[in-house]
């Protein structure tokens, strides 16, 4: 087995690289992904890797600071892990470069789009570049010189691109920050015949570098990018105090510990060594790359040809047969439960529900948990309208949602100013649940309406994340959800519940009980099955229980998009566990758990993965699917994902990321597209 495997568990950070390798596979898939979509997968890979170094690799670096004797007792070997990470990333970066240079660029050229480097500019393009530089960049480009002989430290902003410039007549080093935060990364240089020329903003500055350092003899120009630790090391405090401290501490991200320097591999070793010492980096923190960095900018790569064949075809949203024309959502939800599926359906159904609640004279309360608050949207507008209309609005905002802290706290303040009751993070716990409750007076009694989802209340991400949400007026579920909100409001310590799974109170215990029931069924010679879909699988106790279930003969079928610490398919350990991962046009984000339960199947959807943090350290909510029609609908959708033979990769012990093969005579199933067709036929 691989060196990373210990105690029958894979290292989560190493296995995560297998997930990002699957993203890289999508950048190579010409059969299903048009050219511009493959470029976006390069952007996703790059963006993922940046966050990985800022968070996960940073954490390993922090572990290195722990006393060696303590690390030994805890079996922590961060140096070894980081070295293996760097080795794998370098391999992937080589593949990345080959895809871009040998596949993407030639195919762009074949479609009359040419990426032009500064050295290749024609006389006309030089003139265009110069005019663009003078009008857009000259006044904001601020070069500076650094003398390693007299200065021992240099500060580079986190994630910003710089040119590192060397001179033939000076030992000084020049630096130029590339202003990609205020300018488009790509500049069109005009059309000749039927071909459009596009250049990087980087190359326009590179072309003008002699005028920027006009008194120096330039020897070399090398692009670099520094990543810094993304964590905010703040002791948890109560309620708004914690939010305030987080807000004030966001600048720490710009000043955090350097974790990786990505640099042009053509840079002389002597220069790279100087940079490493100036930035106080270790050798393993130095990552050679290509001429350009920040490939996440390829999300915005222009298509001057407007060629539809270079992009995914549009998929019009499916209209929910019950909710689309419902003038009163309360009547529709009271009559029966409803499922919505994103991005196949519009998030507008959730927004319209909140809008109706905001304007309904009989609604008294609206309560919602927001993990990643969208910028101004129909949802936030409706919540503000509800406050204006005198509703009692309670909003729980997670102040510690990584990279969204500032936006979340800003919106929290807006809601507070308007009169909402805003509750921020719990000490030492995150609120990750996707829950909404509306209370309405009907026949002189209070009636509760609930929405429980697998994804955030964010209209933008709902267009690219595959998620599910349940609208229900089921009294038992709604009553238990009201107890969850009472916990968030500090009115309850432990919520009583028989139906919902609520972390950190009952989710682990219930899942363990359900797995044990399948083990007992298998030992009794009965059919025993566990089928589950999640983003990540990491919890050691759950994994050990799944191993026991496999050894007892339980058939376990998992779909895990991201990393897994479980090793499937090992004889005597996990031979009855089969795992696939689906990476496609949309980001798989839904969590579905299905247990055979001796023929009386039980299914849950919600916000929790089988990770220790989701089971023990976060407020999570999963809801059972009781409506028979919705149960069948979700099970049908799940079956399409389980049978995907176009975009599913097998997760095996060797991490080969082999595609699931379509057998002879078998229909081609690309699950995301098959689900779209299925929902379209039903609605």
- So which residues are the catalytic ones? 432
**Percent of residues in the chain assigned helix, strand, coil, to nearest 5:** 40, 25, 35
DSSP designation for 76: -
Helices marked H in 390-530 — which ranges?
405-418, 475-488, 507-523
Q: What is the Cα–Cα distance from 203 to 117, expressed in whole angstroms?
A: 6
Which residue matches tokens 């596979």?
A: 25
d(CA 287, CA 185) in angstroms, rounded, equals 22
For residues 573 and 565, give the distance between their C-alpha atoms in angstroms, rounded to a whole number: 14
Structure tokens, 74: 């805890």
Which own/partner pairs from 182-188 qualify as long-range (CB within 8 Å, at least 24 positions apart)?
A: 182/140, 183/136, 183/137, 184/300, 185/294, 185/297, 185/300, 186/297, 186/300, 186/301, 186/302, 187/129, 187/132, 188/302, 188/304
Q: Do residues 565 and 11 lie in contact, with contact meaning Cβ atoms separated by under 8 Å?
A: yes
Helical residues (DSSP H) of 530-645, grouped into ranges: 540-552, 612-616, 628-642
- Within 10 Å of residue 353's Cβ, how many Cβ atoms? 24
CA 129, 131, 134, 140 torsion-angle sign:
negative
Q: How far is CA 397 from the centre of its chain?
A: 19
Binding site annotation covers 589?
A: yes
Q: Please answer whether residues 466 and 589 qualify as being in contact, where contact means their C-beta atoms are separated by less than 8 angstroms.
A: yes
**Inter-axis angle of helices 12-26 and 35-52, to 10 degrees?**
160
Is 547 among the annotated ligand-binding positions? no
Three-state SS sequence of 23-71: HHHHCCCCCCCCHHHHHHHHHHHHHHHHHHHHHHHHHHHHHHCCCHHHH
Euclidean distance between the first and the last CA atom of the chain, given in angstroms as a whole number? 48
Q: How far apart are CA 466 and CA 565, in angstroms?
A: 23
Instruction: Retrieve residue 346's tokens.
Output: 């519009």
Q: How far is CA 421 from the centre of its chain?
A: 29
- Residue 402 is assigned to a ligand binding site: yes
Residue 438 belongs to what H/E stretch?
A: strand 435-442
- Which residues have C-beta within 8 Å of that of residue 123, sequence separation ≥ 6? none
Q: What is the DSSP letter of 257?
A: P
Distance separating alpha carbons of residues 438 and 451, to the nearest angstrom: 9
Please give the radius of gyration of the chain, using alpha carbons only, rounded to the nearest integer: 27
- What is d(CA 319, CA 315) in angstroms, rounded to the nearest whole number? 12
Any known ligand binding at 618? no
Measured between alpha carbons, how far is residue 428 from residues 16, 63, 671 in Å? 25, 20, 38
The SS3 assignment for 627 reads coil
What is the separation of C-alpha 553 from the centre of its chain, rounded to a whole number of angstroms? 35
Strands 161-167 and 218-228: antiparallel
Binding site membership for Mg(2+): which residues? 372, 402
Binding site membership for ATP: which residues? 48, 465, 561, 589
């Amino acid at each position: 087995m691989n060196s990373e495997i210990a105690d029958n568990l894979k290292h989560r950070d190493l296995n995560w690289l297998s997930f990002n390798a699957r993203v890289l596979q999508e950048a190579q898939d010409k059969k299903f992904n048009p050219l511009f979509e493959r470029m976006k997968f390069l952007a996703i890979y790059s963006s993922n890797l940046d966050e990985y170094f800022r968070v996960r690799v940073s954490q390993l670096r922090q572990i290195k600071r722990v006393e060696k004797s303590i690390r030994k007792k805890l079996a922590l070997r961060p140096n070894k892990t980081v070295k293996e990470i760097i080795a794998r990333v370098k391999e992937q970066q080589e593949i990345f470069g080959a895809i871009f240079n040998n596949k993407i660029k030639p195919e762009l050229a074949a479609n009359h789009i040419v990426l032009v480097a500064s050295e290749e500019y024609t006389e006309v393009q030089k003139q265009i570049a110069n005019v663009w530089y003078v009008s857009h960049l000259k006044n904001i480009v601020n070069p500076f010189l650094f003398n390693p002989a007299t200065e021992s430290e240099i500060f580079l902003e986190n994630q910003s691109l710089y040119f590192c410039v060397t001179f033939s007549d000076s030992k000084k080093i020049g630096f130029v920050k590339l202003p990609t935060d205020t300018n488009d990364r790509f500049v069109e240089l005009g059309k000749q015949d039927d071909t459009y020329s596009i250049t990087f903003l980087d190359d326009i500055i590179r072309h003008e570098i002699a005028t920027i350092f006009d008194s120096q003899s330039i020897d070399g120009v090398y692009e670099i990018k520094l990543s810094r630790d993304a964590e905010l090391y703040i002791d948890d405090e109560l309620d708004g105090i914690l939010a305030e401290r987080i807000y004030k501490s966001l600048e720490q991200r710009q000043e955090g510990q350097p974790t990786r320097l990505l640099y042009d591999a053509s840079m002389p070793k002597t220069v790279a060594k100087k940079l490493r010492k100036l930035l106080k980096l270790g050798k393993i923190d130095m990552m050679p790359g290509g001429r350009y960095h920040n490939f996440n900018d390829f999300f915005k790569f222009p298509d001057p040809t407007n060629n539809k064949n270079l992009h995914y075809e549009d998929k019009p949203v499916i209209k929910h047969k019950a909710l689309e024309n419902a003038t009163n959502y309360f009547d529709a939800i009271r009559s029966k439960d409803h499922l919505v599926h994103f991005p196949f359906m519009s998030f507008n159904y959730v927004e319209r529900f909140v809008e109706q609640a905001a304007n309904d004279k009989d609604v008294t309360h609206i309560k919602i948990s927001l993990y990643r608050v969208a910028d101004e949207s129909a949802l936030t507008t409706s919540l503000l309208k509800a406050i204006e209309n005198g509703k009692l609005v309670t909003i729980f905002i997670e102040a510690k949602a990584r990279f969204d802290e500032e936006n979340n706290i800003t919106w929290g303040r807006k809601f507070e100013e308007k009169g909402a009751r805003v509750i921020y993070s719990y000490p030492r716990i995150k609120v990750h649940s996707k829950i909404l409750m509306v209370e309405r007076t009907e026949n002189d009694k209070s009636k509760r309406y609930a929405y429980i989802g697998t994804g955030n209340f964010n209209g933008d991400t709902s267009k690219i994340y595959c998620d599910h949400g349940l609208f229900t007026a089921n009294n038992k579920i709604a009553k238990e959800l009201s107890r969850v909100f009472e916990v968030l409001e500090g009115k309850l310590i432990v919520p009583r519940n028989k139906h919902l799974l609520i972390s950190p109170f009952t989710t682990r215990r219930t899942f363990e009980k359900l797995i044990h029931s399948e083990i007992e069924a298998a030992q009794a010679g009965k059919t025993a099955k566990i089928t589950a879909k999640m983003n990540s699988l990491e919890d050691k106790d759950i994994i050990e229980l799944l191993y026991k279930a496999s050894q007892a003969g339980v058939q376990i079928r998992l779909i895990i998009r991201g990393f897994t610490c479980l090793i499937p398919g090992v004889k005597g350990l996990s031979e009855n566990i089969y795992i696939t991962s689906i990476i496609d046009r949309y980001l798989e984000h839904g969590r579905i758990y299905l247990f055979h339960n001796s023929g009386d199947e039980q299914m849950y959807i919600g916000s929790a993965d089988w990770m220790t943090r989701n089971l023990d350290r976060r407020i999570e909510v999963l809801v059972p699917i009781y409506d028979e029609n919705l149960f069948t609908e979700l099970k049908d959708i799940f079956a399409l994902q389980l049978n995907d033979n176009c975009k599913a990769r097998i997760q095996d012990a060797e991490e080969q990321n082999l595609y699931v093969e379509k057998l002879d005579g078998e229909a081609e199933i690309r699950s995301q597209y098959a689900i779209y067709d299925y929902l379209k036929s039903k609605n």
